[in-house]
Amino acid sequence: MVASDENDGWTAGKRLDGKTAVVIGAGQSPGHGVGNGRAAAMRFAREGARVLVVDRHIDSAEETATLIRDEGFDAAAFVADVTNEQTLHAAMSEAKRRWGSLDILHNNVGVSLGGGDSDLMEIDEERFDFICRVNLRGIVFACKHAVAIMREQQSGVIVNIASAAGPGLYPYVAYKASKAGVIAFTEQLALQNARYGIRANSILPGLIATPMAVDTRMNRGNLSREDVEAERVAKVPLKRQGTGWDVANAALFLASDEAQFITGVSLLVDGGRILNRI
């Protein structure tokens, strides 16, 4: 299990003190480094949030929850599948039952190559539909059930992980289309729920060194880690990949009261990659 690394940028604080957060996709796939969802769950907890760690793999969710509890913070693991609406409803209900509120929903779901994504002329219906069910439909229905609670509270924050692939260059059709959909949906969500005191924003990660991104490409292309990372770093003006902590820190800001006048934005976390379109 990965608890921290040299890039986590953590200092003690309580920016989410007393808040209840649901982080969907807070486990992570096998591989090197820390995933975006696990990093976000840990950052939220370190800032005082009580975190429901949600993943379709309960063992992975429990690993994250254990890391949080080992640091002295409050977390519980919960199993849900973003392609099954009822499990998403159950997750939101569990957070409110356990801690009395639902203050933050962080949707960290996404699949591309691992789901069989490809060029337009090679994609088939089954793979396209599966990727869209995970990347877009899963977020929509998680938000549906969170918003029901947040409207009753007259408060809440939603942070959706989209991707720089939405507005930027990306060669595979289903991921790009679905993540662009997340951006549009989040804007609608923000506009339609502002009167209830609910904020909604999206994060657009670029080339982040997560197990899902790097290890999947290594396995697909039978490449070394060094080759995959060098190819990705060459595309980033800041000359490094991001980490899960970079994305988690952005999520923390948007979830906190420091961003209380920010809603409907799409925040790029990409090291300037979108500026380099060649």
Put the strands of the sheet holding 104-107 in their side by side order.
Answer: 75-79, 50-55, 20-24, 104-107, 156-161, 198-205, 266-269
Distance (Å, whole) CA 163 – CA 77: 26
- Point out which residues pair with 53 in neighbouring strands: 23, 77
Task: Give the chain's end-to-end CA distance (angstroms, integer).
Answer: 37
Contacts 24+ apart (CB under 8 A), 177-181: 177/132, 178/131, 178/132, 178/134, 178/135, 178/136, 179/110, 179/135, 179/136, 181/132, 181/135, 181/136
Q: What values do phi and psi take at 187, rounded to 5?
A: -60, -45
Residue appearing with tokens 């869209």? 132
Tell me, yes or no, if 170 is annotated catalytic: no
What is the DSSP secondary structure assignment for residue 262, as one 8-state letter?
A: -
Instruction: Report yes or no: 202 and 160 within 8 Å, Cβ to Cβ.
Output: yes
The residue annotated as part of the active site, out of 170, 172, 175, 196, is 175
How, if at all, do strands 50-55 and 156-161 pair? unpaired
Show which residues are catalytic. 175
